[in-house]
């Protein structure tokens, strides 16, 4: 025994040591080699909620643990203890009397008897609930940091970290895709060099100044990507402050707004075309009416012109209406059994004087389909007017009606300007017009879009083959009515 510290009687000193053993901040436990409890201090008893009489000689230490703990104790902990003689700080959950677990760390030593045989295990048991709580907290924050990192990695927005002076520190995958610079190339350079507010050399110092004061900023900017590609972005700048309130770094989230810009451009163009399409027939109507008034006489020609221009206005407005119905999935069909040969002939006739150069080939027998007569003839009129519109005056147009591959088909072939290969996949898109023709020929870019949606709604297909300066062939295929067998023709 060590010396009694000055000022204490030996008795007081012993009492103080005993008190430390009994009530100290850790549990002490002595068990037999098979785990049966021999002795436990007060702290451990308090943790378990049991009295020593309930434990000593009656319960084993491993029975005070959760089931996985018990299995671990018997299969890993104890064999290792036998092997090494001691084990430090192994995590277990002690089950309290009420069933509540207490996380603990157990350090154990094997004690040998005089013959050198192991006969007892002495353990110190530490309450690890605080440590477990902050370990879990640490794990949680590591997990959320990992989640954040994977959000940044897989985000479709460019997420860039910059220093308070604008130097790029981090650069995610979307930023590489958007600007065409790899992370290694760009980190360490200045964001100012590839991003210009509003497209002008404006106020970067002002922006950095505001960020330095801790303000967030949202701006539309123009970026300069690799190979000088223009990148339109909406950029959000968020400063991050250190503990002293100084800006430590700034995160910049950029979204590509090229699509929005394109929509704005289409809207502008649409407005311009609509105004033009409305104004020119109105001018015709007004002019012819004024002519009759001035001459104070009725003119068949003027009235015909007024009727024709009114028809054009009507078609235009109907197209707009129909396109908007299609866009909202409200295209209603009134289908009936009808003969495609007769429908195609009717569509040609409806063009009046314009049908002059149209040749017509068809099966001798009817080609029966189940279709909405009004909508189907609208498709054919669209194809025919395009064939005439996009061909030199007097060039031939051929219409064929027949059967192909078990389907009914009607094709419209012209010898007009044709469509460039890169534009072909887009001719059925809404508001799409081929650049080189759109300036010269009036149109909205809705006819083929509407036609395709109508044909789709009938369960059919519309296809196009074309060669610039040679001409185009549009073919509509529709399900053939089963009872309408006949000699196969072709389209
Ligand atoms: P619009 O004729 O009103 O412009 P469409 O949707 O009918 O609209 O056609 C879309 C575009 O496809 C046209 O602007 C034109 O450039 C091209 N196109 C359509 N039909 C033909 C054709 N027969 N020959 C050449 N180009 C065509």
Place of tokens 């123009």: 222
Query: What is the band of 481 on the pLDDT scale with cuts at 50, 70, 90?
Result: confident
Q: What is the pLDDT of residue 125?
A: 97
Q: What is the pLDDT of residue 74?
A: 94
Is the overall model pTM greater than 0.95, yes or no?
Answer: no
Q: Which residues contact 447 (CB under 8 A, 6 or more apart)?
A: 319, 382, 385, 386
Q: Residue 48: which of 127, 131, 134 has the closest Cα?
A: 127
Place of tokens 């299995």: 71
Convert the pLDDT of each residue in 189-199 to its tens digit: 999 889 876 55
Protein residue closest via CA to atom 2 of ligand 1: 443
Q: What is the pLDDT of residue 285?
A: 95
- Determine whether the shortest distance from the Cβ of 428 to ligand 1 is under 6 A: no
Token pair of 7 as six digits: 């000022």
Convert the pLDDT of each residue in 134-172 to its tens digit: 888 999 999 999 999 999 999 999 999 999 999 999 999
Place of tokens 């075309």: 273
Q: What is the pLDDT of residue 486?
A: 59
Please give the Cα distance from 55 to 49 (Å, whole number).
11
Pocket test for ligand 1, best of 386, 418, 435, 465 (most atoms within 8 A of CB): 386
Geometric angle at alpha carbon 213, from 211 and 216, rounded to 5°: 40
What spacing in Å lies between the alpha carbon of 280 and ligand 1's midpoint? 19
Q: What is the pLDDT of residue 484?
A: 53
- Sheet of strand 471-479: strand arrangement: 358-362, 397-404, 407-414, 471-479, 461-467
Contact 54, 44 (CB under 8 A): no
Q: Taking the CA of residue 427 as centre, how many other CA atoms within 13 Å lie in the half-sphere pointing to its CB?
A: 23
Q: Residue 313: which of 347, 286, 331 has the closest Cα?
A: 286
Token pair of 147 as six digits: 């989640």
Q: What is the pLDDT of residue 48?
A: 93
Protein residue closest via CA to atom 19 of ligand 1: 386
- Determine whether the shortest distance from the Cβ of 277 to ligand 1 is under 6 A: no
Q: At residue 20, does pLDDT exceed 80?
A: yes
Reported in sequence order, the residue ranges of 48-151 that DSSP labels E, i.e. its strands, are: 86-95, 101-112, 118-127
Please give the Cα distance from 390 to 388 (Å, whole number).
6
Token pair of 463 as six digits: 């296809």
Please give the Cα distance from 37 to 57 (Å, whole number).
6
**Please, is 249 exposed, middle or buried when counting C-beta atoms within 10 Å of its C-beta (0-12, 13-18, 19+)?**
middle
Q: What is the pLDDT of residue 355?
A: 62
Token pair of 72 as six digits: 């671990």
Q: What is the pLDDT of residue 438?
A: 61
Query: What is the band of 183 on the pLDDT scale with cuts at 50, 70, 90?
Result: very high
Q: What is the pLDDT of residue 333?
A: 92
What spacing in Å lies between the alpha carbon of 343 and ligand 1's midpoint? 22
Pocket test for ligand 1, best of 273, 427, 465, 470 (most atoms within 8 A of CB): 427
- Determine whether the shortest distance from the Cβ of 444 to ligand 1 is under 6 A: yes
3-state secondary structure of 386: helix
- Determine whether the shortest distance from the Cβ of 460 to ligand 1 is under 6 A: no
Token pair of 13 as six digits: 């000193």
Protein residue closest via CA to atom 7 of ligand 1: 447
What spacing in Å lies between the alpha carbon of 257 and ligand 1's midpoint? 28
Direct distance between the N- and C-terminal alpha carbons of the chain, in angstroms, rounded to an integer:
113
Higher pLDDT, 272 or 372: 372
Q: What is the DSSP letter of 190?
A: B
């Amino acid at each position: 025994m060590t010396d009694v510290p000055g000022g204490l009687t030996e008795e007081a000193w012993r009492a103080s040591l005993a008190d430390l053993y009994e009530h100290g901040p850790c549990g002490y436990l002595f068990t037999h080699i098979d785990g049966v409890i021999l002795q436990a201090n007060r702290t451990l008893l308090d943790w378990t909620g049991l009295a020593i009489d309930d434990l000593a000689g009656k319960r084993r230490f491993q029975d005070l643990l959760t089931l996985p703990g018990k299995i671990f104790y018997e299969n890993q902990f104890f064999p290792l203890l036998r092997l090494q003689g001691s084990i430090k700080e192994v995590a277990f959950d002690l089950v309290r009397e009420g069933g509540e677990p207490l996380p603990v760390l157990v350090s154990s030593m094997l004690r040998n008897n005089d013959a050198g045989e192991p006969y007892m295990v002495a353990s110190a048991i530490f309450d690890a609930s605080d440590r477990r709580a902050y370990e879990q907290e640490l794990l949680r924050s590591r997990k959320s940091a990992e989640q954040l990192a994977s959000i940044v990695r897989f985000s479709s927005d460019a997420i860039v970290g910059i220093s308070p002076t604008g130097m790029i520190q981090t650069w995610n995958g979307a930023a590489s895709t958007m600007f065409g610079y790899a992370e290694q190339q760009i980190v360490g350079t200045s964001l100012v060099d590839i991003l210009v507010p509003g497209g002008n050399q404006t106020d970067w110092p002002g922006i950095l100044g505001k960020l330095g004061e801790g303000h967030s900023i949202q701006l539309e900017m123009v970026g300069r990507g690799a190979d000088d590609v223009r990148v339109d972005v909406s950029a959000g700048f968020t400063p991050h402050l250190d503990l002293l309130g100084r800006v430590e770094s700034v995160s910049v989230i950029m979204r590509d707004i090229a699509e929005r810009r394109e929509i704005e451009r289409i809207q502008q163009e649409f407005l311009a075309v609509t105004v033009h399409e409305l104004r020119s027939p109105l001018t015709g109507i007004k002019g012819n009416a004024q002519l009759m008034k001035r001459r104070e006489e009725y003119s068949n020609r003027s009235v015909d012109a007024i009727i024709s221009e009114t028809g054009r206005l009507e078609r235009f407005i109907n197209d707009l209406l129909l396109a908007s119905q299609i866009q909202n999935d409200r295209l209603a069909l009134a289908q009936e059994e009808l003969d495609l040969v007769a429908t195609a002939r009717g569509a040609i006739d409806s063009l009046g004087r314009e049908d002059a150069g149209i040749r017509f080939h068809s099966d001798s027998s009817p080609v029966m389909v189940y279709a909405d007569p009004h909508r189907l003839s609208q498709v054919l009129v669209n194809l025919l007017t395009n064939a005439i519109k996009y061909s030199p005056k007097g060039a031939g147009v051929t219409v064929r009606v027949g059967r192909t591959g078990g389907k009914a088909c009607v094709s419209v072939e012209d010898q007009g300007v044709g469509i460039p290969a890169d534009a072909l996949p887009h001719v059925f898109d809404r508001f799409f017009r081929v650049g080189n023709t759109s300036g010269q020929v009036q149109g909205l870019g809705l006819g083929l879009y509407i036609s395709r949606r109508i044909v789709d709604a009938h369960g059919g297909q519309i296809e196009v083959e074309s060669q610039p300066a040679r001409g185009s062939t549009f073919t509509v295929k529709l399900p053939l009515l089963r009872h309408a067998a006949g000699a196969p023709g072709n389209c």
